[in-house]
Amino acid sequence: MLFRVDPTSTVPLGDQIAASVRRAVAEGAVAPGERLPAARVLAESLGVNVHTVLRGYQRLREEGLIELRRGRGAAITAGASPQRARLLEHVREAVADARDLGMTEDELLALVRGELNA
């Protein structure tokens, strides 16, 4: 799996690591069950802090793309399909756009609800 981070970007490094995994799942480059590199290994590889990697992994876990098992490391979940990863990307983009427009959380949620009920 290809990981890329840009230290000069304003996006937090942990989020950039999470985005790398999301992209790999969306492109079908990784299949469910595949293991992610250990946080220590990836941190050394990219020259970032272990906690930064773990923050990225935590984020992916909350999104349901990976599962973290004690002693067994991180692995792509069975339900992590390319479609799901792409949906997550869209949600992130929508949230970022809403923030740029100065929308509040409730306004955005109202928009989504409206779309769901349409």
Partner 1 sequence: MTSKNLGRATLAALPFVLALLAELAVHMTVKDRLPARLAVHFEAGGTADGYMGVGAHLLYTATSLLVLGALWAFIGVNGKLYGRSHRWFIGGGFAVAAFLGYLLTAVLFVNVDAPEGGPVDGFPLRHIVVALGAAVLAGALGLAASRLVPAPEDPRDRDPASRDRIVLADGEVAGWARGIGAWWVPVAVLVLLAAGVTVGLAQNWFIGGPLLLLGLVAGTFCRPHVTVDRRGLTVSGLLPRPRVRVPLERMAGADSRAVNALAEYGGWGYRIRPERSGVITRSGEAIVVSLTSGREFAVTVDDSATGAALLNTLLDRQRTGR
Applying CB under 8 A, the residues found at the interface with partner 1 are 1-8, 29, 34-37, 41-42, 45-47
Whole-angstrom distance between the N-terminal and C-terminal Cα of the chain? 39
Q: How far is the CB of 84 from partner 1 (least distance, A)?
A: 20
Q: How far is the CB of 57 from partner 1 (least distance, A)?
A: 13
Q: Which helix (H) or strand (E) holds 70?
A: none
The C-alpha atoms of residue 79 and residue 7 are separated, in whole angstroms, by 31
> Judged by CB, which is closer to partner 1: 45, or 83?
45
∠ Cα 49 53 29 (to 5°): 140
Task: Please say whether the dihedral angle defined by the alpha carbons of residues 74, 69, 11 and 116, taken in this order, is positive or negative.
Answer: positive
> Judged by CB, which is closer to partner 1: 34, or 89?
34
> Judged by CB, which is closer to partner 1: 55, or 98?
55
Q: How far is the CB of 39 from partner 1 (least distance, A)?
A: 11
